[in-house]
Amino acid sequence: MNAQEPLYSLHERIWHWLQAAGMIVLLLSGFAVHYPDHFGVFGSMANAISLHSWIGFALILNAFLGLFYHLTADKYHHFLPKMDDFTGGAVRQARFYLYGIFKGEPHPFETDPRHKLNPLQKVTYLALLNILLPFQIVTGVLMWGANRWPAAFERVGGLRVLGPAHTLGAYLFLAFVIGHIYLATTGHSPLSLIRAMITGYEEPVRHRRAAEETEPDGAGDAPALAGDATTPPVESAEPVPIPPNA
Amino acid sequence: MNSIGRNACRARRGLALATTRVLAVSAAFLVANLASTIVRGAAPLAEPPRISHPLLVLKDAAGKNVLETGEPISTRQTCGGCHDYDFITDSFHFQQGKNEMNAKLLASHGIAPFNSSPGMFGKFSIIPNRQLTHAGVADVSDYDMSQPEWLTKCGVCHTGGGISEVDLAGHRFLTPEAKANGSLDPSYTVRDRVSGKVVPWDWAKSGVAESDCFLCHVPKASRGARREAMTAGNFRWADNATLADTGIVVKQANDTFNYNHAAFNPDGTVKAEALGLSDPTLENCAQCHGFTAKNVTVIQAIQHADIMRGTEKAGWIYNGAKISDTVTPNIVGREQMDFPWDVHAAKGLICIDCHFSPNNPGRMIQTDAAKNLNYRPGMNDIAVYLKRPDHNFARGNIPPETVNMTRHNTMRGCEDCHDAEKAHAFLPYKSLHFKALACQTCHIPEVHFWAYRSDEWGFLMDTGTSRITFRGIDGDIVNPDAKVTGFKPAFIPARGKDGQTEIRPTNLVTGVYWFDLSKRRPVFTWQVQQAFFTGWDPDNGWTYRPEIVKAFGDKDGIIDRDQARYDSPEKIALVRGLLQKYAGISDPELRIEVVPWAMSHSIAGKGQATKACTACHAKNSILHRPLDLDNFLPKGVPTFFQGRKIDVVSWRGKEPGFDNRPLLASFYIIGNSRVAWIEWLGWLSVAGALLFVLIHGGVRIFGGRR
């Protein structure tokens, strides 16, 4: 691998931040609709609904562009968990978050441009992208289309079903966003992962190597990546990919 | 050229000249006409002359001219000569449920079996807590209001025909077949107020009130005079009384009427200008239905000692005048109300524009939904209409009215005249809103008048009757200086024209009354009087029982208005015991019933209609407005709404308020509705994420770890 290759390509970073911005606007405008007494930030409820609809469709488009990009750029495999990811991998990553991180242990799964997500992320995104996101899209589009496709809208129970369902999805997304942002601070430094999603690169490798040398169990986790023939040895002080633990 | 030739030539020239002149004049005439036509184009067309009703002879029951006999007018003979009297009077204005006395029909519409009909003639109402006695009762304890008594009270408006001509067995009064079936037959008896005994009604003396066609078709009809005749039991002359202000009749000292010959033509017909037969005017309908006028600044909603019904129940005023121009009553803030009482009235619409005869060719709906026909030819036969005009007038669906129960929502809906899609550009999700909300929900944001608030028959005042309270007024309704503050409606679900359930505005009238659980019917007022009073006499009126005075009165033994309330379970138990002891009610139960009176008049235009999203889509949504009920309501008693036991009374506020959340549970109002488990689960997940961040982050920070 070329040492100059970023962990996150420009496409991925733009896609990520567009998703992030869209999601935040959706959450804010959604809460402006759900709690109009407390979230009057968009001037009026009609504005909030209009913005929510536009951003929602923009986000759907962005999601499809992301899908297209990951399929055509052969990057979809990042999101495909292996069987071990559901059990051993996810447990090891969870153990790290709940225990190892406090002991200064190294990340159990080193990441690089070919392995960007740890098992827990893969499992989370599998649920998020295949269940929660489509669920929000379907419930949201049906509500948006209540005037256009009233039969379909009523067939699924109308607002009485769709409203609460979409609201629940929004709460779960909010919980995800909170966890996502927080876990983005669990890189080698609190801002390293966030910086990586901006610049594409994590901190200089010497910091990482120094860190790894101080961690007695770090070597024990290295074999997790050993099978990947494409994983390059870390040799220089050039910027290297970082593990997106968030 | 010879002379002949010259002459011929001159002749041709002359002809040509003449032709040219004619053409020129014709052209000028055409141009002038065209110009004239163009200029006249903007001028209004003259109103075509109306077809007037043919002159008629007023006939008595024998079919003779009343001028000759001096007998009361018989509309069956007078009007029925051309129009199908029996067909016309077999409609709900005349029957008020009498032709719907069918237990299966009532049951299919959820009407409790203690009612004998779905109309006012047979259906219990908390106003005025009376029940028409069922035919065939054998026990005097099952006897309340008889048919003759009903006529003396309700027959003022319900204009004869079925209910005042025919007994409950279907026989016309004063015919050989018409006979009382026992001593308690409610068609032939009445409860004597003083003795309390059931005594025979003298039909020969009262006579029969035939359909009062004049009340609706004579512009100068006098409801006041009719009221006098009916309340006095002078049924025979009631139709004559209605003509008291026309100059056709003159009342005599013995409560009969003479005929004024000056109002008649030499041929014995009545003068057209005296009778003035016409379609019902606003004023005709107003006499019974509510305050209605084209443009009036003095709003007098109490006429002939009766509060006009629609105004009384729902506070509506159908008037084209601006509220700001109101002289009386004292409408608070009227200076700012530069808009009409009702936009339809201001546009000149009259009652029959919407509440038309269903077979009137000029107004009828010529669709046949059952056959998927948008236009059904052959329905509009004027001859059929003139012979048999359908008097089951087009109507909506106005809870709690259930009369004519199989023919609700027969009038045109708002959407049949207005293109709501185009008129609501500001509104997102139009069809969703239009489906969930009645137009009135936004277009009756407030009623600027007073209306009934409660009618409590659970505790009788020293008048022997209920305590009535009003909303929307600070003071007495008969005081012209009392401040009329108006009120904002409450909302309930109701069946819309297309069968869907929609949210509608209503006034709420709360009743408190005793229910006889052993007989599954409300306790009759005379039975409650037996429990509360030792008796009545003309000098002292009603006298409370000592037990009542002791429990409810002050140290001087006086029960004032504020003390007349059930503020403890012991007081309820006391009256319950008195009902058992003195009225023989084995299992009485005190109940609250909240009755909604739907609103469909006092329509506001777009300037005043509710438009802000957050009016409904917010925590304090107007759709859940806790309209104040009645500060005298007893606590801890069963509450009923539209015949079902539902707790719609909230005690959270200063006064008991209406809580419609159980009723609107099927509506999800974005920004207002919350599904408890969704909110719990949602916030729990968010709180869990935050808690994780706090604890995890805290340990990282304070533990010195990354």
Name B612's Cβ contacts closer than 8 Å, sequence gap at least 6: none
Residue B705's pLDDT band, with cuts at 50, 70 and 90, is low
Phi-psi sector, A54: left (phi>0), alpha (psi -120 to 50), beta: alpha
The answer to whether the CB of A38 falls within 8 A of the CB of B610 is no
Mean pLDDT of B86-93: 95
Give the pLDDT of residue B23.
Answer: 45
Mean pLDDT of B24-50: 50
Mean pLDDT of B542-561: 92
Query: What pLDDT digit, counting tens, does each position of B454-491 carry?
Result: 999 999 999 999 999 999 999 999 999 999 999 999 99
The partner residue sitting opposite A46, judged by closest CB among B428, B667, B682, is: B428
Lowest mean pLDDT among A143-152, A228-237, B135-144: A228-237
Cα of B573 to nearest chain A Cα, Å: 44
Give the pLDDT of residue B373.
Answer: 87
Give the pLDDT of residue B538.
Answer: 86
d(CA B455, CA B380): 46
Mean pLDDT of B515-531: 96
Cα of A147 to nearest chain B Cα, Å: 6
CB contact under 8 A, B614 and A37: yes
Lowest mean pLDDT among A165-174, B275-284, B353-362, B368-377: B368-377
Q: In terms of DSSP H, where are the helices of B509-649?
A: 525-532, 546-552, 569-582, 613-616
Which residue does chain A place closest to B665, by CA atoms?
Answer: A160
* Confidence check: pLDDT of A113 > 60: yes
CB contact under 8 A, B692 and A179: yes
* Confidence check: pLDDT of B625 > 60: yes
Strand B189-191 and strand B467-471: the pairing is: unpaired
- Tokens 């609706």 locate to B216
Give the pLDDT of residue A188.
Answer: 81
Task: Quote the tokens at residue A191.
Answer: 């801002």
Domains of chain A (ranges plus CATH)?
Answer: 10-226 (1.20.950.20)
Q: Which residues of B touch chain A, with CB atoms under 8 Å apart?
A: 426, 428-432, 613-614, 617-620, 666-668, 670-671, 673, 675, 678-679, 681-683, 685-686, 688-690, 692-693, 696-697, 699-700, 703, 705-706
The partner residue sitting opposite B690, judged by closest CB among A172, A176, A178, is: A178
**B345 compared with B373, residue with greater pLDDT:** B345
Verify cis geometry, omega within 30 degrees of 0, for the bond prior to B44.
no
What does DSSP assign to residue B172? B
Average pLDDT, chain B: 90
Long-range contacts of B167-171, Cβ-Cβ distance < 8 Å, separation of 24 or more: B168/B101, B168/B135, B169/B135
Query: What pLDDT digit, counting tens, does each position of B581-593 carry?
Result: 999 999 999 999 9
CB contact under 8 A, A37 and B666: no
Give the pLDDT of residue A232.
Answer: 36
Distance, first Cα to last Cα, chain B:
136
Give the pLDDT of residue B28.
Answer: 46
* Confidence check: pLDDT of A220 > 80: no
* Confidence check: pLDDT of B33 > 70: no
Mean pLDDT of B37-66: 76
Give the pLDDT of residue B37.
Answer: 41
The answer to whether the CB of B438 falls within 8 A of the CB of B420 is no
Lowest mean pLDDT among A24-38, A203-217, B265-279, B306-320: A203-217
Q: Is A37 on the interface with B (CB under 8 A)?
A: yes
d(CA B536, CA B544): 10
Residue A118's pLDDT band, with cuts at 50, 70 and 90, is confident
d(CA B649, CA B510): 10
Mean pLDDT of B86-100: 94
Lowest mean pLDDT among B11-20, B96-105, B569-578: B11-20
* Confidence check: pLDDT of A214 > 80: no
Residue A216's pLDDT band, with cuts at 50, 70 and 90, is very low
Test the B interface: residue of A159, A180, A185 with most B CBs within 10 Å: A159
Mean pLDDT of B235-256: 97
Give the pLDDT of residue A239.
Answer: 40
Name the nearest CA neighbour of B346 among B278, B305, B383, B292.
B292
Give the pLDDT of residue A221.
Answer: 36
> What is the crossing angle of helices A10-34 and A192-199, to 10°?
110
Give the pLDDT of residue B45.
Answer: 60
Name the nearest CA neighbour of B116 among B130, B141, B135, B129.
B135
The answer to whether the CB of B116 falls within 8 A of the CB of B187 is no
Domain locations in chain B as residue ranges:
1-40, 66-275, 282-425, 675-706
Mean pLDDT of A41-45: 86
Query: What pLDDT digit, counting tens, does each position of A60-105 carry?
Result: 999 899 888 888 887 777 778 887 877 888 888 889 888 888 888 8
**A242 compared with B335, residue with greater pLDDT:** B335
For A69, B97, B209, B269, the CA distances from B158, given in Å and listed in that order, are 78, 11, 10, 28
The partner residue sitting opposite B671, judged by closest CB among A34, A179, A186, is: A34
Mean pLDDT of B445-453: 96
- Strand-pairing partners, residue A112, are A115
Mean pLDDT of B601-630: 94
CA–centroid distance for A83 within its chain: 20
**Residue B443, number of CB atoms within 10 A of its CB:** 21
* Confidence check: pLDDT of B11 > 50: no
Q: Is A99 on the interface with B (CB under 8 A)?
A: no
Name A88's Cβ contacts closer than 8 Å, sequence gap at least 6: A119
- Strand-pairing partners, residue B640, are B593, B645
Residue A116's pLDDT band, with cuts at 50, 70 and 90, is confident
CB contact under 8 A, B613 and A189: no
- Strand-pairing partners, residue A239, are A204
Amino acid at B578: L
Residue A157's pLDDT band, with cuts at 50, 70 and 90, is very high
Cα of B345 to nearest chain A Cα, Å: 33
**Residue B206, number of CB atoms within 10 A of its CB:** 23
Give the pLDDT of residue B694.
Answer: 95
Residue B637's pLDDT band, with cuts at 50, 70 and 90, is very high
Strand B588-598 and strand B639-641: the pairing is: parallel
The answer to whether the CB of A202 falls within 8 A of the CB of A193 is yes
The answer to whether the CB of B217 falls within 8 A of the CB of B75 is no
Q: Is A97 on the interface with B (CB under 8 A)?
A: yes
Task: Quote the tokens at residue B87.
Answer: 């067909």
The partner residue sitting opposite A49, judged by closest CB among B428, B686, B692, is: B428
* Confidence check: pLDDT of B71 > 90: yes
* Confidence check: pLDDT of B450 > 80: yes
The answer to whether the CB of B392 falls within 8 A of the CB of B407 is yes
The per-residue DSSP string of B567-580 comes to: -SHHHHHHHHHHHH
- Count contacts between A and B (CB, < 8 Å): 104
